[in-house]
Structure 1
Amino acid sequence: MSVTPPRRTIAVTLAIIAPLALTACSGESADKAESVVLTEPTWTGGQANVAVARYLLEKKLGYDVKVRRMDEKDSWSALGEGKADAILEDWGHPDLEKKYINKKDTVVPAGQVGVTGKIGWYVPEYVLDKHPELTDWKKLNRLAPLFRTARSGGKGQLLEGSPEFLTHDETLIRTLRLNYKAVYAGSEKAQIAEIQKRTARREPFLTYWWRPHWLANEAKLKEIPLPAHYEGCDDDPRTLTCGYPETPLKKYLNKAFSKKNGNAAKFLKNFQWGEDDQNEVARMIAKDGMSPRAAAVKWIKANPETWKVWLWGIEQD
């Protein structure tokens, strides 16, 4: 049995509800009126992060997401100047952190990606099988003739990717007095193609590379230890003699965005996955030829137990 309330009660109730409804709607619009702008790096692991985050921001949280591909320094500049909202994978730039976090106060940390990066010098396993004496950098000069190419002249070649990558290899070659030349492929894609071509022919090569990366396992790349990294050893990039540190990869947000865009900022702070997950999406993009979006969708469908954690405590559309 129901009782119809007096009309005056209904009118008062509507008068109260209407402004609340309008407030809720306007609040949601304010939170989502502006697009979320993600910076996308030039390597596929970082692109995998962006592809998955973008899809979930759009489909689960209703944001309009724009992606801007740029080099690392440009990403920091865009973030610091409010032209972008998030960097989802940074390999360590103390100078830029000091500039935009400490001095300008326009960027804030957003936690770790969940992946530890390691840059180094690598050779394919079959080179070590044939030259087991190649146990560290001190043996490289002896084997420099093995790594000569037309582009390296009379020196051994150290294959590099993009000059914009985080690298101090030219300085290391000079300070360690190595008879090598850094030769740049120009991009990660071109470097991958060169590595795949040489491994298919079982040709010797020495390359700048990093983990995590799907190709490191596929090509069976083995690291040649450089001088151990220690705190402060790379403060002066002109005279350093140490190798690269193991780096927990980090995320950063524009400070104003972090304060204003609640759900988007919370989600990007929560975003965290492992090396295997990142490698899986990156492999689909780089090796299988899938679009970043298609690769992200395939991974998302197969791994709800991972990404649903990122949405805990966040109101969804």
Structure 2
Amino acid sequence: MTKQASPYAAVGGAKSVSLPIGTWVGAQANVAVAKYLLEHELGYHVDTVQVDEQPAWDALSQGRVDAILEDWGHPEEEQRYVKDKKTVTAGGGNGVIGHIGWWVPKYWADKHPDVTDWKNLDKYADQLRTAESGKKGQLLDGSPSFVTNDKALVKNLNLNYEVVFAGSEAAQITQIKQFAKEKKPFLTYWYEPQWLFNQVPMVEVKLPEYTEACGEKGAKDPKSIDCAYPIVPLQKYFNTDFANSGSTAAKFLKNFSWTKADQNEVSESVASDGLTTDQAAKRWVEKHPDAWKRWLPKEAKQ
């Protein structure tokens, strides 16, 4: 993430945009489609770099990347860069509603419907033990870099569980698929939108209801969280200079907004069908011209 100008920047009249890619496939889907259209419809060269969520904010503030297309809520960074330093500008929603929660497989919940209430989880802890969780039940998380309150929740709700990190979204998916193949029970941190629900139906475990008071308390002290994750309209953020540039790319990315179904379609093409991100983007763009043509700025439609 060192500052490097695009090799295309020195070419006369060349236009370039730099986008960070989050480490989950939904973020890859956003960037893939935006990149494809910026390059094929608007004549830009797009540089991409895979980076965790918090470092992406730092890079955005410093102008090393131009836009984050999917943020799940980083109040500290928003306060520092948007409100205080004003080096980052809010870019509006990307159209997708995000929700993090705890989930169990439907085939298990059908046999034990009470497992979908957090108050009954300890009753099933023995069934969810793994080598990694020891004598406690396993709560499977993905990457430690993702937005997660799970360690605080387990402690504050006094649950007999151990949070075990798979290490990445891909590793977590592999484990979930293996559990499902063997029809084993599991409890996992998971989120919507996510294409895996199409292949492994899951049921959400009801945690204590999220309230603004709980959210405010958690923002001040993340270790105090004792309620469910909020429903989050996923947001875009731009480097302020990029946002104010008036460029066609900035206008296009401000207009970029699609649905959960759109994102899942591209995500599943990549994660399950084996397409490259460019191939998946091309497939979606060719199938949905009415959706993306609305994102093109007026000057690009002439």
- Measured after TM superposition, the shift of residue 315 of structure 1 is 2.5
- Measured after TM superposition, the shift of residue 261 of structure 1 is 4.9
> Pairwise CA RMSD of aligned residues?
1.6
Question: Matched residues in 2 for 1:86 and 1:68: separation?
Answer: 12
Matching residue of 1:42: 23
| 2:241 paired with 1:256 | yes
Matching residue of 1:297: 282
Which of 267, 276, 279 matches 1:282? 267
Matching residue of 1:117: 98
- Measured after TM superposition, the shift of residue 134 of structure 1 is 1.6
Aligned length: 289
> Residues 168 and 237 of structure 1 are in contact (CA less than 8 Å); yes or no, is this contact kept in structure 2?
yes
Q: Which amino acid aligns with 1:215?
A: L
> Residues 60 and 316 of structure 1 are in contact (CA less than 8 Å); yes or no, is this contact kept in structure 2?
no
TM-score (norm: length of structure 2): 0.93
**Structure 1 residues 125-134 or 67-76, which shifts more?**
125-134
Q: Which amino acid aligns with 1:231?
A: E
- The sequence identity of aligned pairs, in percent, is 50
| 2:159 paired with 1:174 | no
Structure 2: state its 5+ residue gaps. 1-9
| Residues 169-248 of structure 1 aligned to structure 2 (within 5 Å) | 169-233=150-214, 234-235=218-219, 236-248=221-233
TM-score (norm: length of structure 1): 0.88
Q: Which amino acid aligns with 1:245?
A: P
Which of 45, 50, 65 matches 1:64? 45
- Measured after TM superposition, the shift of residue 180 of structure 1 is 0.2
Q: Which amino acid aligns with 1:271?
A: F
> Residues 140 and 172 of structure 2 are in contact (CA less than 8 Å); yes or no, is this contact kept in structure 1?
yes
Structure 1: state its 5+ residue gaps. 1-28
Question: Matched residues in 2 for 1:287 and 1:31: separation?
Answer: 40
Q: Which amino acid aligns with 2:89?
A: V
> Residues 128 and 187 of structure 2 are in contact (CA less than 8 Å); yes or no, is this contact kept in structure 1?
yes
Question: Matched residues in 2 for 1:31 and 1:219: separation?
Answer: 50
- Residues 220 and 298 of structure 1: CA distance in aligned 2, closer, same or farther (over 3 Å): same
| Residues 80-159 of structure 1 aligned to structure 2 (within 5 Å) | 80-159=61-140
> Residues 124 and 204 of structure 1 are in contact (CA less than 8 Å); yes or no, is this contact kept in structure 2?
yes
Q: Which amino acid aligns with 1:195?
A: I
- Measured after TM superposition, the shift of residue 229 of structure 1 is 0.9
Question: Matched residues in 2 for 1:272 and 1:47: separation?
Answer: 15
Matching residue of 1:4: none
SS at match of 1:228: coil
- Measured after TM superposition, the shift of residue 241 of structure 1 is 0.6
